[in-house]
Amino acid sequence: MPKRFSIPEIASSEITPEAVYLDRRQFMRGVGVAAVPALAGLATGAHAAPTTGGAALDFAAAAPGQEGFYTDETRTPLDDVAAYCNFYEFGTDKGDPARHAHEMTVDPWSIEVSGEVNKPGKLNLEDILSGFDLEERIYRLRCVEAWSMVVPWVGFPLADLLNRFEPTGKARYVEFRTLYRKAEMRGTRSFTSIIDWPYREGLRMDEAMNPLAILSVGMYGKTLPNQNGAPVRLVVPWKYGFKSIKSIVSIRLTEKQPKTSWEMLAASEYGFYANVNPEVDHPRWSQATERRLPSTFFQPNRIPTRMFNGYEEQVAHMYSDMDLSRYY
Amino acid sequence: MQLTLRIGVFSACLLPFAWLVYAIATNALGPDPAEAVMHVTGEWSLRMLALTLLISPLRQWSGWAPWMKLRRMLGLYAFFYACLHLFTFLQLFIGWTPARILEELVERPYITAGFAAWLMLLPLALTSTRGMQRRMRRRWLQLHRLIYPTAVAACLHLLWQARSDIGEALVYIAIFALLLGWRLRRYQRKRRPAIAA
């Protein structure tokens, strides 16, 4: 007897993996959005809501106080924060991270903590999310390119994590590294990029232990979109944005000052400290003012930049004996 | 046919501008329109400049003279987008404070180069009419060779502001190098028989 029904056999190789399938939908959506702007040589895709992150988080809300953890300035809308950012691993256009960062796998994830610590080891994402008390911090973010935002982050003090690994007496600096995964980060495959991947950043130990310095796992109460540095990023609000390194996979405590990516690229333009300072210009542009985003063509929203991005009270003491025009 | 071509090119060159106006009006440029407008106007000024320089080789290769009729229009478009670019810089980036403008011009080489390019385009635009062309004769040709240093200054303007990826700058530099190289070769070829004679 011939079988009347049979389950069609589909080789597993013929089944479209979910990631590719999702990718295709992403692509089709992208085509529609990009068609008109492409005409003018520009794709903004500016107003799309982020497609990654957005999972609920438990945290304590920010409150006004001396610590600088809160500001009542107008917050930059979530969609703008997610649409407009620098994450060169996905391309150098501000819209590139929003377009391509979904290609990055953020779960599973772990951070390796090494160097001058008594208990080196690995922290898995689950340990990070469940092992620290999350709190909200509403910070100003000032990019070295003279634009700024106000973002409600969710995270925990960097000091909490460092203390858990017990820094030795020799630990004077902290070096951070971003994930470097060529297959998922198209910007790192650019032949003309002159960045030596992985992206690296660093802080002095006292800066790292300052209560303002946090590791963020979310913003606007939900987990971070990939382009904003999921699953874990640094936020140091008194320094230019590039110091707030994204998607961290390694934290190493060192005795010597670590090399940072932008410093390696152009030491005359980007210093190790990179504290927001309206009096010390970037060689190619002034840092005296900033465009607070969102801005419009007719109302650029240009405001004066503040010393240490307005966190002078909390951080100035760390630099009291330093010539800030030399250690920029 | 020629009129159709001219109207077609005129409209095509206006499209980026039309799109910009539409995007600004509908707030479609994202949270930081300053950067988007700067980028689009600068880029199209460069492209128009390259197209202007492409006309002479195109005429020679195709042997079709009417191409030349497009040259003034393309050149004026290059100037038009350069003006928008400069206006955007003043309006959105630094404001209209003379001291601040002067500081930018003096202290930032890529601004100096960009402004020099615009400044060189200015007399070319002013003398672009047929009347001026007739009146100035040989001097018109000499003056309009300013488009070569303009192209060089525009490339430097782009290259000197590249931060970590020089890919885009290199593409434009390669295009302008070809366009200027073609002229250099033609110039050398023209001179050779003269020397022989």
Please name the amino acid found at residue A233. Answer: R
Dihedral sign for Cα B171, B175, B178, B184, please: negative
Q: How far apart are CA B85 and CA B181, in angstroms?
A: 27
Among A286-295, B73-82, B127-136, B187-196, name the one with the lowest average pLDDT. B187-196
Whether the pLDDT of residue B85 is over 80: the answer is: yes
* Average pLDDT over every residue of A132-151: 97
* Average pLDDT over every residue of A58-80: 96
> What pLDDT score does A133 carry?
97
Per-residue pLDDT band at A32 (split at 50, 70, 90): very low
For testing contact with chain B, the best of A92, A185, A297 (most B CBs within 10 A): A297
Instruction: Read off the pLDDT of residues A267-320 as tens digits, 9 standing for 90 and up.
Output: 888 999 999 999 998 877 889 999 999 998 888 899 999 999 999 999 999 999
Whether the pLDDT of residue A321 is over 70: the answer is: yes
Q: Which residue in the block uniquely carries the two structure tokens 């404070």?
A: B97
Q: How many CB pairs under 8 A join A and B?
A: 112
* Average pLDDT over every residue of B97-122: 93
**Which uninterrupted H or E stretch holds B46?**
helix B33-62
* pLDDT cut 70: percent of chain B above it: 97
Among A49-53, A211-215, B38-42, name the one with the lowest average pLDDT. A49-53
Whether the pLDDT of residue A29 is over 90: the answer is: no
> What pLDDT score does A39 carry?
42
User: Across the interface, do B165 and A80 touch by the CB < 8 Å criterion?
Assistant: no
User: Across the interface, do B43 and A41 touch by the CB < 8 Å criterion?
Assistant: yes
User: Across the interface, do A297 and B167 touch by the CB < 8 Å criterion?
Assistant: no
Task: For domain A46-262, give the CATH number.
Answer: 3.90.420.10
> What pLDDT score does A49 carry?
80
Q: How far apart are CA A241 and CA A194, in angstroms?
A: 20
**A11 vs B: CB within 8 A:** no
For testing contact with chain A, the best of B11, B26, B32 (most A CBs within 10 A): B32
User: Across the interface, do A191 and B167 touch by the CB < 8 Å criterion?
Assistant: yes
Please name the amino acid found at residue A312. Answer: E
Whether the pLDDT of residue A3 is over 70: the answer is: no
| Domain extent listing, chain A | 14-43, 46-262
Whether the pLDDT of residue B81 is over 50: the answer is: yes
* pLDDT cut 90: percent of chain A above it: 75
> What pLDDT score does A42 carry?
47
Measured between CB atoms, which of B19, B24, B30 is closest to A83?
B30
Whether the pLDDT of residue B6 is over 50: the answer is: yes
Q: Any bridge partners for residue A282, and if so which? A: A285
Instruction: Read off the pLDDT of residues A79-124 as tens digits, 9 standing for 90 and up.
Output: 999 999 999 999 988 999 999 999 999 999 999 999 999 999 999 9
Please give the mean pLDDT across all residues of chain B.
92
Q: What angle do CA A68, A69, A70 make, to 5 degrees?
A: 95
Among A45-59, A113-127, A170-184, name the one with the lowest average pLDDT. A45-59
**A228 vs B: CB within 8 A:** no
Whether the pLDDT of residue A247 is over 70: the answer is: yes
Is A301:A245 a contact under the CB 8 Å cutoff?
Answer: no
Whether the pLDDT of residue A33 is over 50: the answer is: no
> What pLDDT score does B195 carry?
54
Please give the mean pLDDT across all residues of chain A.
88
Whether the pLDDT of residue A25 is over 70: the answer is: no
Contacts of residue B104, defined as CB under 8 A and 6 or more positions apart, other chains included, come to A286, B94, B111
Please name the amino acid found at residue A271. Answer: G
Please name the amino acid found at residue A145. Answer: E
* Average pLDDT over every residue of B5-16: 95
- Among chain B residues, CA nearest to A83: B30
* A235 CA: distance to closest CA in chain B (Å): 21
> What pLDDT score does A283 carry?
79
Chain B CB contacts of A83 under 8 Å are 30-31
> What pLDDT score does A194 carry?
82
**Which uninterrupted H or E stretch holds B176?**
helix B167-196
Q: How far apart are CA B42 and CA B92, in angstroms?
A: 14
* B75 CA: distance to closest CA in chain A (Å): 18
> What pLDDT score does B120 carry?
98
* Average pLDDT over every residue of A224-237: 98
